Every structure is written in C-alpha cells, then in structure tokens.
Structure 1
Amino acid sequence: MDHRRDEKDWLSALGFAFLTYNSATAVYRSINEPSAVAFVVIAYLDLVLLFWCLRRFETSSESNRGKYKAAVWSLATLLTAMFSHKVAAIMPWPVALIVYGMTVVTAGGGFWAFFVYREPPPADSKTSSN
C-alpha cells in the first residue's frame, strides 16, 4: 500500500513539474504581451489551487468538505470561463455564442452536481427481493 502512495506522489510531482515548466515557457515566449502573461499566470495559479483544494477535499472530514467543494467548483468554473473566452475570441460570433453557452451549461451542471443533486438512499434489500 505504501508503494502505491510513493508512486502516486512521484507522478503528481512529475505532473506539477511539467505544468510549471510549460507555464514558465509560455510566460517567457509571451513576455511582451502582458495580457498573455496574465492569462498564463492566472491559469497556472488556478490549477495549483484547484489541485490543492481537491487534495484537501479528499482528505477532509465530512463536516469540512463544503468549503472545499465550493472552492473546487469556483476554481474549475474560472478555468473553464478563461479558456472558453480564449477560444471564443477566435471564432465567428455564432460559434462564440455556442462556446459561451456551453460554458454556462458546464458551470451550471457542475453547480447542480456539487450542491443540488443528492443520491437516493440505497434500496432496502428485503423490500426489493419481494
């Protein structure tokens, strides 16, 4: 069991290093475009915070999960909106409207799944066998 955790930690560190390297390279290549640099930095910080909140959510007690769930949804929605805006900017306006619509549906669906939907309790095995 401990071996799996070490392997998981190693893969997480490798993924984080890859993300950091690519973000630093993007900032270096876009150094003369402040808006591009801001986009990369904000997206990088958002991803780092998102992964941190996900880890905290997975390891927290049931009573503390609400605030991490809200943070995960907010950070994921921000990232979705940022990338959708970049994509929509290069599309014709009808396609851009579709992209923005998909963003709203995705954010709304995530909100519904995280905060509204409740799984039904499991059916009682005695009543279902009759």
Structure 2
Amino acid sequence: MDQRRAAVGGRVLVPTAIAVLTVTCAAAIYRAATAGDVASVAFVAVSYGALLLLLRFLRAYELAPPDAAAERERLRRRVWALCTLLTALFAWKVAGVVPWPAAVLVWAAAAATSAGGFFALSPRRV
C-alpha cells in the first residue's frame, strides 16, 4: 500500500514541482532580461537546464536494472558532473555577494562537496 501511495504521489508531486520550477525560472529570466542582466539570465537558464537533466538522469538510474553496471556507472558520472556544475554555479553567485574571506570559505565548501560527491558516487573497487 505504501509503495502504491508513493507512486501516486510521485505522479502528482514531481510534475507539479517541475511546473512551479519552470514558472519561477521563467519569471526570473524575464525580470533579469528586462533589467539587462545577461549574467543572471544565463545563470538561471543553465541552472534550470542542469536541474532538469539531473532529475532525468536520477530517474534513469532508479529505473536501470541492477545488472546493467555500465549504464549505471555512466549515469552516476553524469549525476556527479551535474551536481558539481550546480554547486559551482551557486558558489559563484554566493561568493560574488560576500566578503572575500567568506568567498574563500564558500569555494572551499563547494570543492569539498564536489570531491565528497565524487568519492560517494564512485564504485568501490576492493
């Protein structure tokens, strides 16, 4: 029963969340474009595209059969790359509005997060 309820919730919740994300990103792009802020338009557009790709690859990973090791490894690498891209994009935005000592900490945290994600998503070879 719980799995069926989760499946029904996923069929409603995920498309609703993506629709809300799309509307808010479109509004942010519109506001930035009317202000002439090309960097913000690019930031929102790239972040939105990367997030949609991340969701797609995570779903493909969930649905991949356990015996498809090569496919799962390829998807794992894509997920890590997109997570690293999103981490770098948000670190760039945050580092741009804080004093330089805090910016150094933001970039260090972003690097540590990406490195940790690499090791967490890497297959264990024993």
Secondary structure of the 2:98 match is coil
Provide, for residues 79-130 of structure 1, a one-character-per-residue CA deviation record: whole Å limited to 9, x for no partner: 0000001000111111110100001100000011111557x9xxxxxxxxxx
SS of aligned partner of 2:23: helix
State the TM-score, normalized to the length of structure 2.
0.88
- Corresponding residue for 1:53? 57
CA distance in 1, matches of 2:6, 2:120: 30
RMSD after superposition: 1.6
Unpaired segments ≥5 residues, structure 2: none
Match of 2:76 among 51, 65, 69: 69
Identity in percent: 36
Larger RCO of the pair (alpha carbons < 8 Å, separation 6+): 2
Measured in 1, the distance between the counterparts of 2:57 and 2:105 equals 30
Residues 7-41 of structure 1, C-alpha deviations (whole Å, 9 max, x = no match): 21110010000100000000010012111101000
1:8 corresponds, among 7, 10, 15, to: 10
Residue aligning to 2:119: 112
* 1:48-95 C-alpha deviation (Å, 9 max, x unpaired): 000000000111123210010000000011000000010001111111
> What CA distance in whole angstroms lies between the structure 1 residues aligned with 2:99 and 2:7?
47
Match of 1:26 in 2: 28
Q: Does 1:89 align with 2:96?
A: yes
Aligned to 2:46: 42
Aligned match for 2:107, one of 80, 87, 100? 100
TM-score between both structures, scaled by the size of structure 1? 0.85
Which runs of no fewer than 5 residues in structure 1 stay unpaired?
Answer: 121-130
Residue 3 (structure 1) shift: 4.7
